[in-house]
A and B are shown apart, each in its own frame.
Chain A
Amino acid sequence: MAENETKTPSVTRQSLEKLFEPAVRAIEELGTLAQLGFSAFVWQFRRPYRFGVLVQQLEFVGVQSIFLVCLVGLFTGMVFAVQTAYGFRRFGAENLVGGVVALSLSREMAPVLTAIMVAARAGSGMAAQLGNMRATEQIDALETMAVSPVQYLIVPRLIAGTLMVPVLALLFFGVGLGGAYLVGVVMLSLDQGVFMDRVTALLDKRDLVQGLVKAVIFGYAVTLISCRHGYYAKGGAEGVGLATTRAVVWSVVGVFFLDYIITSFMTDMG
């Protein structure tokens, strides 16, 4: 009897620990991210400012993503135009195609898909690069030369991600709208004037603001998550591969999670 009593709580405790393990891990993970983010925040104000490295990263995140973002933007706009036209034709509201596409591009599609493209291309690249630098002691070497790896490696990447994703999202929006125009006006022969009129009528400044706010936050989140997985990579070459995968997966999850939070804060349903 006495034995049983001592056993039972420990068994429950073990299973409770198992049950809460993912939650504990998630909190730990957020802690790691917050720590790295805070440290980068502090270091970005300290001299020397590393403009050279920043320009490299702006080029890597921004310029090198232009083609991909245009491609995906164009198709997204076109697909959306076809789908909306199909749906709206039933009640004779095809003329709204331009406006509806513009609305969904600016509020959702442009920031979310751009962030995902950047995660897949630049985020994975960052995780692989930083992970390799960790595995081959290059990060340690920076430290021994009294150069802060956070300042030298993380800060320029975070700034580049935060600046470039909104720019790319605007590009995505423009190209996507072009795609919708192509489908609506050129292929489905909707009236050009009405198409553009509906765009300006339905699209509000607030929609563009929401899209840009999202893009800024996604850009920061995707780069921070990608950098974190590379920077703290463990276990040699295999670890680098794992870090790259995790960087992309968690960036994408992070984008959707944040998307819900921001949308509920910024959308006035009343």
Chain B
Amino acid sequence: MRLAAQRAEVSDWVGYEVGYGVGYEVGTMSESDADGPQIIIEDLVKRFGERTVLDHINIKIDRGETLVVIGGSGAGKSTLVRHLIALERPTSGRILVDGVDMAALGDFELSRVRRRFGMVFQKYALFDSMTVYDNVAFPLREQTKMSEREIKDRVMVKLDELGVAHAAARMPAEISGGMAKRVGIARALVLEPEILIYDEPTSGLDPVTSRTVDELIEEMRERFGVTSVVITHDMASAFDIADRVAMLVRGKIAVEGPPENVMASDHEDVQRFVHSSAIDPARIAQRSARKSPAQVRALRKERLAKQGAPKV
């Protein structure tokens, strides 16, 4: 109930009914607070030319749930989440958001559905012709009727939460990668949308800032009942924020379930992935076998003596 009240409050300054973003009658399926999954991925296949990047993916994401997607580089994680917001069109299969097939929408309806999403891009995707402040203010100016003063308050609060308020007047080219990432997060969160997609929100951040971002993701969920999909390579954060984890291997979902279950899965790829990021005793034991810098230098000298000095 608290949630509904907050939505109404959001609706006030968003200027349209949050949760009824489709804008036309689609029956009870668009009812945002109904039970059941909010996002359904049905038998999704995506090919780029000959390459199959996503291979018959089936997954359901409930309202208020955080799904963490893990998987190696090139497994198709970004491609998967780009489908949720129709930045990619499926080769076959369907994406249903509150029962509405994203691929079947014309660009006008699509833009209405997209208002309910926020997305953090892997490569930040900040508008490089605008200051940090204008980047974060952009969604508010585009989609709400808020005054510049209200906008300023909200933007500065968000920038402050992410620790980048001091950079508000700078251009994206003048800030570090980690800062750009946080500005990207601020921009995605500023409208407090219903569904948030984070593509590696903590990569490139120091551990302390990473935890702050994890907390923010949790807070969005608890305060606004946000449905989130988070891609991460950071296993610690995966287990902190996930209701469910899905591991993508070569375009297929290898394992899916609560973090504990995924951790315990005996799937070979999963074991390798999870254990190469956790600090387990075996790895600590391995450290003693590591060569010291002095040993490495000695080896190099030995090798050079054998080969003769390299010609320049």
The yes or no answer to B268 lying at the interface (CB within 8 A) is: no
The yes or no answer to B112 lying at the interface (CB within 8 A) is: yes
Q: Determine if A141 and B112 form an interchain contact, defined as CB atoms under 8 angstroms apart.
A: no
Of A129, A136, A137, A148, the contact of B111 (CB 8 Å cutoff): A148
Q: Determine if B114 and A137 form an interchain contact, defined as CB atoms under 8 angstroms apart.
A: no
The yes or no answer to B121 lying at the interface (CB within 8 A) is: yes
Query: Which residue of chain B lies nearest to A56 when distances are taken between CB atoms in the complex?
Result: B129
Q: Provide the residues of chain A in CB contact with B112, threshold 8 Å.
A: 146
Q: Determine if A140 and B114 form an interchain contact, defined as CB atoms under 8 angstroms apart.
A: no
Instruction: Give 1 or 0 for each of A123-152: 1 = CB within 8 Å of chain B CB.
Output: 000000100110011101101111110000
Q: How many angstroms between the C-alpha atoms of A132 and B172 in the bound complex? A: 14
Q: Which of A136, A138, A144 has the most CB of B within 10 A?
A: A144
Q: Determine if B125 and A141 form an interchain contact, defined as CB atoms under 8 angstroms apart.
A: yes
Q: Provide the residues of chain B in CB contact with A129, threshold 8 Å.
A: 129
Q: Provide the residues of chain B in CB contact with A137, threshold 8 Å.
A: 121-123, 125
Of B82, B107, B114, B127, the contact of A138 (CB 8 Å cutoff): B127
- Interface size of A as a range: 10 to 19
Cβ of A231 to closest chain B Cβ, rounded Å? 15
Cβ of A117 to closest chain B Cβ, rounded Å? 23
Within 8 A of A (CB), among B126-155: 126-129, 138-139, 142-143
Instruction: Give 1 or 0 for each of A147-160: 1 = CB within 8 Å of chain B CB.
Output: 11000000000000
Q: Determine if B125 and A146 form an interchain contact, defined as CB atoms under 8 angstroms apart.
A: no
Q: Determine if B115 and A146 form an interchain contact, defined as CB atoms under 8 angstroms apart.
A: yes
Q: Provide the residues of chain B in CB contact with A144, threshold 8 Å.
A: 85, 87, 114, 117-119
Q: Determine if B115 and A140 form an interchain contact, defined as CB atoms under 8 angstroms apart.
A: no
Q: Determine if B127 and A146 form an interchain contact, defined as CB atoms under 8 angstroms apart.
A: no
Q: Determine if B128 and A132 form an interchain contact, defined as CB atoms under 8 angstroms apart.
A: yes
Q: Provide the residues of chain B in CB contact with A148, threshold 8 Å.
A: 107, 111
Q: Determine if B119 and A138 form an interchain contact, defined as CB atoms under 8 angstroms apart.
A: no
Q: How many angstroms between the C-alpha atoms of A149 and B112 in the bound complex? A: 15
Q: Determine if B87 and A140 form an interchain contact, defined as CB atoms under 8 angstroms apart.
A: yes
Cβ of A47 to closest chain B Cβ, rounded Å? 12
Query: Which residue of chain B lies nearest to A142 when distances are taken between CB atoms in the complex?
Result: B127
Q: Provide the residues of chain B in CB contact with A146, threshold 8 Å.
A: 111-112, 114-115, 142-143
Q: How many angstroms between the C-alpha atoms of A147 and B112 in the bound complex? A: 10
Q: Determine if A136 and B123 form an interchain contact, defined as CB atoms under 8 angstroms apart.
A: yes
Q: Which of A133, A136, A143, A146 has the most CB of B within 10 A?
A: A146
Q: Determine if B139 and A145 form an interchain contact, defined as CB atoms under 8 angstroms apart.
A: yes
Given A146-B112, A146-B114, A148-B107: A138 in contact with B125 (beta carbons within 8 A): yes
Q: Provide the residues of chain A in CB contact with B117, threshold 8 Å.
A: 144
Given A145-B114, A146-B112, A146-B114: A140 in contact with B142 (beta carbons within 8 A): no
Query: Which residue of chain A lies nearest to B119 when distances are taken between CB atoms in the complex?
Result: A144
Q: Provide the residues of chain A in CB contact with B123, threshold 8 Å.
A: 136-137
Q: How many angstroms between the C-alpha atoms of A144 and B118 in the bound complex? A: 7
Cβ of A213 to closest chain B Cβ, rounded Å? 33
Cβ of B201 to closest chain A Cβ, rounded Å? 15
Cβ of B175 to closest chain A Cβ, rounded Å? 14
Q: Determine if A145 and B143 form an interchain contact, defined as CB atoms under 8 angstroms apart.
A: yes
Q: Provide the residues of chain A in CB contact with B125, threshold 8 Å.
A: 136-138, 140-141
Query: Which residue of chain A lies nearest to B188 when distances are taken between CB atoms in the complex?
Result: A144
Q: How many angstroms between the C-alpha atoms of A144 and B125 in the bound complex? A: 11
Q: Determine if B128 and A141 form an interchain contact, defined as CB atoms under 8 angstroms apart.
A: no
Q: How many angstroms between the C-alpha atoms of A84 and B65 in the bound complex? A: 79
Q: Provide the residues of chain A in CB contact with B118, threshold 8 Å.
A: 144
Q: Determine if A143 and B128 form an interchain contact, defined as CB atoms under 8 angstroms apart.
A: no
Query: Which residue of chain A lies nearest to B113 when distances are taken between CB atoms in the complex?
Result: A146
Q: Determine if A147 and B107 form an interchain contact, defined as CB atoms under 8 angstroms apart.
A: no
Q: Determine if B121 and A145 form an interchain contact, defined as CB atoms under 8 angstroms apart.
A: no
Q: Provide the residues of chain A in CB contact with B139, threshold 8 Å.
A: 145
Cβ of B173 to closest chain A Cβ, rounded Å? 11
Q: How many angstroms between the C-alpha atoms of A146 and B124 in the bound complex? A: 17
Q: How many angstroms between the C-alpha atoms of A267 and B87 in the bound complex? A: 48
Within 8 A of A (CB), among B86-115: 87, 107, 111-112, 114-115
Q: Provide the residues of chain B in CB contact with A133, threshold 8 Å.
A: 127-128
Cβ of B185 to closest chain A Cβ, rounded Å? 13
Q: Provide the residues of chain A in CB contact with B126, threshold 8 Å.
A: 138, 141
Instruction: Give 1 or 0 for each of A229-259: 1 = CB within 8 Å of chain B CB.
Output: 0000000000000000000000000000000
The 7 A-B pairs with the shortest beta carbon distances in the complex, nearest first, are A137-B125, A141-B125, A146-B111, A146-B114, A144-B119, A146-B115, A137-B121
User: What are 14 pairs between A and B in contact, CB < 8 Å?
Assistant: A129-B129, A133-B127, A137-B121, A137-B123, A137-B125, A138-B125, A138-B127, A144-B117, A144-B118, A145-B138, A146-B114, A146-B142, A146-B143, A148-B107
Residues of chain A having any CB pair with chain B under 8 Å: 129, 132-133, 136-138, 140-141, 143-148
Task: Given contacts A136-B124, A138-B125, A141-B125, list 8 more A-B pairs with CB under 8 A.
Answer: A136-B123, A137-B123, A137-B125, A140-B87, A143-B85, A143-B87, A145-B138, A146-B142
